[in-house]
């Protein structure tokens, strides 16, 4: 299966957290088939340090539920603090691993919603995603990632990160 992932970090050595997440995904989840460049964006929905974001495609034999559990374990191992998750919708984190797409599947369970429910409304997701999957068709909206980016109403600044 092909998993399209979005990584984000806005605490500590952000670039290192993205790199370690990719390394852990390759060890525990599958083969890294493609990754975007790293982008820097302002926090979305709350006041906090800027985020680094990167889109990644992982080819895996894991079923969605197991893949999701592995990503949650990687987040925890890389220092994501779960106690904040219940308190706030948006908060700073060492690493965030979101599953955007799994092939062309549509999943709507209590644990996992795929495609990611808010990806079409966020430039910080669509810009890196359009770099690696511009022609990927959203299986619910029936629009390509590039089309979604062109019609996105979020005007947040998303710029290439230069370390």
Q: Which of 20, 93, 122, 123 is catalytic?
A: 93
The DSSP annotation for 26-76 comes to: HHHT-EEEEEPPPEEE--SSS--SPEEEEEEEEE-SS-HHHHHHHHHHHHH
Question: Is residue 154 among the annotated active site residues?
Answer: no
User: Contact, 125 vs 119, CB < 8 A?
Assistant: yes
CA atoms of 116 and 92, how far apart (whole Å): 20
Q: Tell me phi and psi for residue 88, to 5 degrees.
A: -135, 150
Q: Residue 77, SS3? A: helix
Per the annotation, the verdict on 118 as an active-site residue is no
Catalytic position from the list 96, 122, 123, 147: 96
Active-site residue (options: 80, 122, 123, 147): 80
Residues labelled as active-site residues: 80, 93, 96, 98
């Amino acid at each position: 299966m092909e998993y399209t992932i979005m990584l984000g970090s806005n605490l500590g050595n952000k670039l290192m957290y993205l790199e370690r997440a990719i390394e852990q995904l390759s060890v525990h989840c599958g083969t890294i088939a493609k990754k975007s460049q790293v982008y820097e964006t302002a926090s979305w929905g709350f006041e906090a340090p800027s985020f680094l974001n990167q889109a990644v495609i992982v080819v895996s034999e894991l079923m969605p539920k197991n893949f999701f559990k592995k990503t949650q374990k990687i987040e925890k191992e890389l220092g994501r603090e779960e106690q904040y998750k219940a308190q706030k919708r948006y908060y700073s984190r060492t690493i965030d691993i979101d599953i955007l797409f799994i092939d062309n599947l549509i999943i709507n369970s209590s644990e996992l919603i795929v495609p990611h429910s808010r990806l079409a409304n966020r430039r910080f997701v669509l810009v890196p995603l359009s770099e690696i999957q511009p022609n990927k068709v959203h299986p619910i909206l029936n629009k390509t990632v590039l089309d979604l980016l062109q019609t996105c109403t979020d005007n947040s600044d998303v710029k290439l990160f230069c370390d």
